Structure 1
Amino acid sequence: MTVSAKSEYACIAMIELAARYEADQPARLREITEAQGIPQPFLVQIMAQLKAAGLVQSTRGSTGGYRLAQAPDRITLADIFQVIEGSGDQAESNLQRPTPAAQALCGVWGKICQERTKILEDVTLASLATRVAEQPDEMFYI
């Protein structure tokens, strides 16, 4: 499965916001880019899309930033993918003349898309933030 950089960055940014949800402190773009290594131009576009979709809220000012619009256990990866990629449930043939073999393959592609959607709907930001918090910090020594 190929995931676009924009979708992956969106998920990572949302996991960062989920980790900060209980503290009820907004995260500045700079903090997210530094913590997660997301290029700022990408992050600006991503946060604008997520805000327009109602997944994040923003606050202006010196204490402003972004926060989740809902609890992390109510936001799934499917919600994020829907905003960034649109509906990914369609599987279409790229062939000019669909043959029976191409139609059979298209049925398989459709099943794959359905399973992908089911998996994305089952994974919440809360579960991912918990998984991240349980991972030990890696130390690099020179």
Structure 2
Amino acid sequence: MNVSAKTEYACIAMIELAARYEAGQPARLREIVEAQRIPQPFLVQIMSQLKAAGLVVSTRGATGGYRLAKAPDRISLADVFHVVEGAGDQADSNLQKPSPATEALCGVWSQICQARSKILEEVTLANLAARVAEQPDEMFYI
């Protein structure tokens, strides 16, 4: 599955915010950039989109930053994908006069898109934050 860098960065930033949700403290862009190695200009653009869509809220000032607009278990990956990539999966043929073989393939493409959409809707930020928390920290010994 091909996912754009922008979509992947948006998901990573949202997982970071989900991990911080219980503490109730907003995360500054710099903190997200440092923790997740997302290019800052890209992150500014992404957070603006997520804010406009109502998935995150921001607070200005010295103690400001970004927080999830609702609980992580109420935000799915589909929500993030729709904001960044736009609505709808494309499963249409590029041919002007489809043949029976093309129509059969379009049926398969449509099934793939439906399965993808179902999985994205089922996986929440809470699920992903829990997976991240379960993974051991990498340690390097010399």
In which range does the TM-score fall when normalised by the shorter chain?
Answer: over 0.9
1:128 counterpart SS class:
helix
Aligned partners of 1:28 and 1:88: how far apart in 2? 31
Pairwise CA distance, 1:87: 1.8
Aligned partners of 2:85 and 2:94: how far apart in 1? 19
Pairwise CA distance, 1:38: 0.5
Aligned partners of 1:113 and 1:88: how far apart in 2? 9
Note the alpha carbon deviations across 1:34-63, whole angstroms, 9 max, x for none: 000111111011101100000000011111
User: Are 1:36 and 2:36 an aligned pair?
Assistant: yes
Aligned partners of 1:138 and 1:17: how far apart in 2? 21
1:56-75 to structure 2, matched below 5 A, reads 56-75=56-75
Aligned to 1:50: 50
2:2 counterpart SS class:
coil
Matched residue count = 142
Aligned partners of 1:45 and 1:95: how far apart in 2? 35
The alignment's C-alpha RMSD in Å is 1.0
Aligned partners of 1:112 and 1:27: how far apart in 2? 36
State the one-letter code of the partner of 2:103. Q
1:58 counterpart SS class:
strand
Structure 2 residue runs without a partner (length 5+)? none
Aligned partners of 2:140 and 2:87: how far apart in 1? 41
State the one-letter code of the partner of 2:77. L
Aligned to 1:140: 140
List structure 1 segments (4+ residues) > 6 angstroms apart after TM superposition. none
Aligned to 1:98: 98
Structure 1 residue runs without a partner (length 5+)? none
State the one-letter code of the partner of 1:89. D
TM-score under structure 1 length normalisation: 0.96
Pairwise CA distance, 1:30: 0.6
Aligned partners of 1:8 and 1:140: how far apart in 2? 26
TM-score under structure 2 length normalisation: 0.96
Pairwise CA distance, 1:141: 2.9
Fraction of identical pairs, as percent: 82
Pairwise CA distance, 1:122: 0.6
1:57 counterpart SS class:
strand
2:58 counterpart SS class:
strand
2:70 counterpart SS class:
coil
Aligned to 2:110: 110
Note the alpha carbon deviations across 1:52-76, whole angstroms, 9 max, x for none: 0000000111111000000000000
Aligned partners of 1:73 and 1:33: how far apart in 2? 23
Aligned partners of 2:85 and 2:135: how far apart in 1? 29
